[in-house]
Amino acid sequence: MTEQIKNILTAERENLKRQLELYKSEDPLADPNQSSSRTTDDAITVSEGHDRIVATRLGLKQRLHEVERALAQIDLGTWGICTNCGKEIAKDRLQALPTAQLCAQCEKEV
């Protein structure tokens, strides 16, 4: 199961990296050569677009961090061990959420 999960996480990592680059390139404030002659409505639209992209990229970066942490744990042999209590995380939980850091019991307590 671990090798299969590693392949899934590796593919997800690459997908997340592509999405981050795509959103970065679509950010209306990323172009330093953009025209500053806009109406107030245009400036608001650009600002709102930028804010949405920043929020989306933040979520993607968080997910990428979780995926990379899980991949590192697989490489270290600690994947599937609850970081709180040290017990094994249930296989069905790991299949549903391969980046899980806590067993179901510890997750409930948090």
For 15-38, the pLDDT digits (tens) are: 999 999 999 888 877 766 655 556
At 28 the pLDDT is 76
State the total domains in the chain.
2
**Domain hosting residue 15, numbered range:** 2-79
Q: What digits encode the pLDDT tens for the residues 35-53?
A: 555 677 667 777 888 899 9
- Pinpoint the alpha helices (H) of the chain: 2-26, 40-76, 91-96, 104-109
Question: Higher confidence at residue 80 or residue 45?
Answer: 80
- The number of beta carbons lying within 10 Å of the beta carbon of residue 98 is 22
At 37 the pLDDT is 53
At 31 the pLDDT is 64
71 and 99 assigned to the same domain: no
62 and 92 assigned to the same domain: no
60 and 21 assigned to the same domain: yes
Q: Is the pLDDT reported for residue 86 higher than 80?
A: yes
At 44 the pLDDT is 76
State the chain's mean pLDDT as an integer.
Answer: 90
At 39 the pLDDT is 72
74 and 84 assigned to the same domain: no
37 and 84 assigned to the same domain: no
Q: What is the DSSP letter of 33?
A: T
51 and 12 assigned to the same domain: yes
At 46 the pLDDT is 76
Instruction: Count Cβ atoms within 10 A of the Cβ of residue 72 and give its class: 0-12 exposed, 13-18 middle, 19 or more buried.
Output: exposed
87 and 73 assigned to the same domain: no
- The number of beta carbons lying within 10 Å of the beta carbon of residue 67 is 22
29 and 54 assigned to the same domain: yes
54 and 24 assigned to the same domain: yes
| Among the listed residues 2, 50, 51, 55, the one whose alpha carbon sits nearest the alpha carbon of residue 26 | 50
- Distance between CA 77 and CA 70 in Å, rounded? 10
At 109 the pLDDT is 93
55 and 10 assigned to the same domain: yes
16 and 39 assigned to the same domain: yes
46 and 87 assigned to the same domain: no
